[in-house]
Every structure is written in C-alpha cells, then in structure tokens.
Amino acid sequence: MWTYVSDTPERTFVLGRELGALLHRGDFLALNGPLGSGKTLFVKGIAYGMGMDPEEVTSPTFAFIQEYAGSLPLYHFDVYRLDVSEQLEDLGYEDYFFGHGVTVVEWAEFVTGYFPEEYLQVDFVKLGDTTRQICLTPHGVGFEKRTEQLKERMQRC
C-alpha cells in the first residue's frame, strides 16, 4: 500500500494523470470514499493521462456508466445507486470489468464480489477542505509494479 496526501484538487488531478499514463488494457480500478472526496476529479486526471479531454468526464451517478474513447476505452462506473445483483448483470458488467479497456468504479465497496483477480484499490479520505489522503492498494504483481512507477513519477511532479 502507498499513501499519498494531496493538499489541493490540482494535486489529486495530477495523481490521476500520472496513473492514467501507466494503465494497460484490461486494468480495473476500485475507488472508495465519501461524497466530495475527489473520486471524479481523480478520474478526470486518469482520462487526461490516457490522452482524453478531462472536461468530457462527468460523474455517472444517474447513468451508472460513462464510456470515453481514447487510445484505450475508459469505462467509468458509479454504483452508488445501483441494485447490485440485478442491475450490474443487466449492464453486462463482465464486458467492462473483464474487457479490453480500463475500468474505473466509484463506490466500489458495493461490488467487491465482482472484481477481477488483479486490480488497484484507491481509497479517498477527506482530511480538510482541500486535503485528501489517497491510499493505493495494489492487488496483483502488475499493479504492484505500476504503484512503484507512480510513486517515482509523483516525486518528479
């Protein structure tokens, strides 16, 4: 596990941007944290790091999923209001969670039983108005390596 303290929204975006540049086809990210903790801003950074326009990224709270096209597709889920067992199946989650793009799930704690074997867990904690503690917990060798790469990249930013 690696813990990063972001003292501004811009730093949260940068962390996402640097991670986005490291992501591979089939990657799965599980985001957890309270409302307003920076999850969607982080996803905007990921999109930017993947070569997409971050302004196109919006919270999929009512749509459940947003799809963005780039060098790899980005699938952005928000499962907060989802009736997990039925609606997740109806969405065809397997095509996303085990597909060819990058999948990011906000409120992932509600769907832990559906995760692929390897994934990156990202937990957000509000420490103040703009300060966030962001804990990245890699599950699998690939994410262990990318977390180390991310730490190195953030030291240079």
Here the tokens at position 152 are: 């190195």
Here the tokens at position 124 are: 């957000």
pLDDT at position 62:
64
pLDDT at position 97:
92
Per-residue pLDDT of 20-61, as tens digits, reads: 999 999 999 999 999 999 999 999 999 999 999 999 998 766
Per-residue pLDDT of 83-141, as tens digits, reads: 666 778 888 889 999 989 999 999 999 888 899 999 999 999 999 999 999 999 999 99
pLDDT at position 125:
97
Burial of 149 (0-12, 13-18, 19+ CB in 10 A): middle
Residues 73-103 as b or e (16 or more Cβ within 10 Å = b): bbbbbbbeebeeeeebeebebeebbebebbb
The CATH architecture annotation of domain 2-156 reads 3-Layer(aba) Sandwich (3.40)
Q: Residue 23: which residues within 8 A CB-CB, separation 6 or more?
A: 46, 49, 50, 72, 102, 146
pLDDT at position 85:
63
pLDDT at position 61:
63
Domain borders along the chain are: 2-156
